[in-house]
Structure 1
Amino acid sequence: MVGKALHVLSVLGGYPDGIGLSELARRVGYPVSTTHRLLSSLQEHGFARSDPGSKRYALGLRLFELGQQVSHARGFAGVALPVLRALTEQTGEPTLMAVLDGHDQVYVHSVHGPQQIQIRGEPGKRGPLHCTSMGKCLVAFSPERDQLLASLDLVAHAPRTITSREEFAGEIESVRARGYAVADEEHEPGIRAVGVPVLGPDGTAVAALSTAAPAYRMPLAELEAFVPALQAAARELGAVLPR
């Protein structure tokens, strides 16, 4: 039942404005009675909430509380955010931060830049590893690198996505050699990003940072010119973030 409840929470996370019981039951693949019983238990403990008027269910504040505790425990809030803000002031572009979780990257911070059109990474959202600059860094400097290289699903998200396992392995070796990664319209057409790993004392990535911008505004060479600033911020974070 714990697994089913967690599945319900995961699906609820995709509906910030709430979702009706019948539709939720269909989405999770459980009978309506089972879904209702799980929701009642989750509501009792604050993990879900319902709107009596609309009769729609959404995530509860207890999840926010736990998320904040994880954020503080890992140093994301008090330590990382000032560093990311300072980096955005240097680049004039948004700064994103992500960590590795299984076969995904999870965004933990996103600092907006001054530009009207900019790339955003919503905290808590998941993203692919093989076609993003931060994802490549997290793979390249992960202790499970070989396993990830062998098992990642190289889905084509855009025409320039690397889908060949051999080519992807070569890309990861290049990232390790130069210390940063580039995603040139590989995740979404029209978006470029450059990322660096935040390394712990053992040389493995505890997180990754990136600067992203629309391709029409940011030539690749100009984007790569941000690498030294990104690496300086990553070194600062690497010295203070909990392992």
Structure 2
Amino acid sequence: MARSIQSLERAAAVLRLLAGGERRLGLSDIASALGLAKGTAHGLLRTLQQEGFVEQDEISGRYQLGAELLRLGNSYLDVHELRARALVWSDDLARASGEAVYIGVLHQQGVLVVHHVFRPDDSRQVLEIGAMQPLHSTAMGKVLAAWDPVAHSELLEAPREAFTTRTATEPPELEAGLELTRERGWACDVEESWEGVASVAAPIFDRRRMPVGAVGIAGAVERLCDAGEIRPALVASVRDCARSVSRDLGARRF
């Protein structure tokens, strides 16, 4: 059996301790409850605080669980609810567009595909659930970066790879693309990630009006585009699907 990592075990114990009982605990309370030296407990708390998992009250100096844990918990719930709510609407979108449909969420500075509906024809296709797509060059990635502050910051933090001659990689160009996405309510990728492939996507919101994912279609440029532009009918179909899923999740302003 593989050995556990002591520092991770201790960090988990700190989080469990803060999750139960009193809302806020002092350093001495935490160290005593877990049988740790104060220096060890302080190091764990400082690291957890830097990652947003723990917050310290400025006046009392006591610690409590941080907002990042809530965000992670909501993300877990959102993904499962998102997939359940999107099943029927994504099937309808695949039939209406004749293209493959993807549902994606933000994950590790990229887009994680959590649902995939095959293109409704007899061609051989590979299921892409669990695949990662880049934030900066795909329609779903641009949608997430345009509305999700975390995705936006992650888009600009790391150097971005130019997959084709059309890929935008510099911050000013990326920012301009995100502004356009917010203005029109959808994003596209025409051969920015893969030669000969285009995609279009729209945001999915939950009952809090928070962006929880994106829905999009992808396929050959000649099927999705006219004169290099995404066909308006396909844009309309994708946006209708995004609105329908959002409404099912409790979003109202559409």
CA distance in structure 2 between the partners assigned to 1:142 and 1:118 by the alignment: 34
Residues 132 and 187, structure 1, Cα contact 8 Å, conserved in 2 = yes
Residues 109 and 155, structure 2, Cα contact 8 Å, conserved in 1 = no
The match for 2:248 is 240
Distance 1:119 1:175, change over 3 A: farther
The match for 2:210 is 204
Counterpart amino acid of residue 125 in structure 1: A
Distance 1:182 1:92, change over 3 A: same
Structure 2: which 5+ residue stretches go unaligned?
6-75
Counterpart amino acid of residue 196 in structure 2: G
Counterpart amino acid of residue 215 in structure 1: V
Identity of aligned residues (%): 27
The match for 2:107 is 101
Report Cα offsets for 1:172-198 as digits up to 9, x if no partner.
111011100010100001000111011
Q: Which of residues 84, 89, 98 in structure 1 aligns to 2:90?
A: 84
Quote how far apart the aligned CAs of 1:119 are: 7.5
Map 1:1-243; keep pairs closer than 5 Å. 74-116=80-122, 122-144=128-150, 146-219=152-225, 220-241=228-249
Specify the SS of the correspondent of 1:124: coil
Counterpart amino acid of residue 145 in structure 2: V
Distance 1:104 1:2, change over 3 A: farther
Specify the SS of the correspondent of 1:217: helix
Report Cα offsets for 1:30-52 as digits up to 9, x if no partner.
xxxxxxxxxxxxxxxxxxxxxxx
The number of aligned residues is 179
Residues 149 and 169, structure 1, Cα contact 8 Å, conserved in 2 = no
RMSD: 2.9
CA distance in structure 2 between the partners assigned to 1:71 and 1:200 by the alignment: 11
- Compute the TM-score of the two structures, normalised by the length of structure 1: 0.65
Counterpart amino acid of residue 135 in structure 1: G
Specify the SS of the correspondent of 1:162: coil
- Compute the TM-score of the two structures, normalised by the length of structure 2: 0.62
Counterpart amino acid of residue 154 in structure 1: R
Distance 1:218 1:152, change over 3 A: same
Structure 1: which 5+ residue stretches go unaligned?
4-69
Larger Rg: 2
Specify the SS of the correspondent of 2:222: coil
Residues 109 and 121, structure 1, Cα contact 8 Å, conserved in 2 = no
Residues 97 and 109, structure 1, Cα contact 8 Å, conserved in 2 = yes
CA distance in structure 2 between the partners assigned to 1:185 and 1:119 by the alignment: 20
CA distance in structure 2 between the partners assigned to 1:222 and 1:165 by the alignment: 24
Specify the SS of the correspondent of 1:187: coil
The match for 2:46 is none
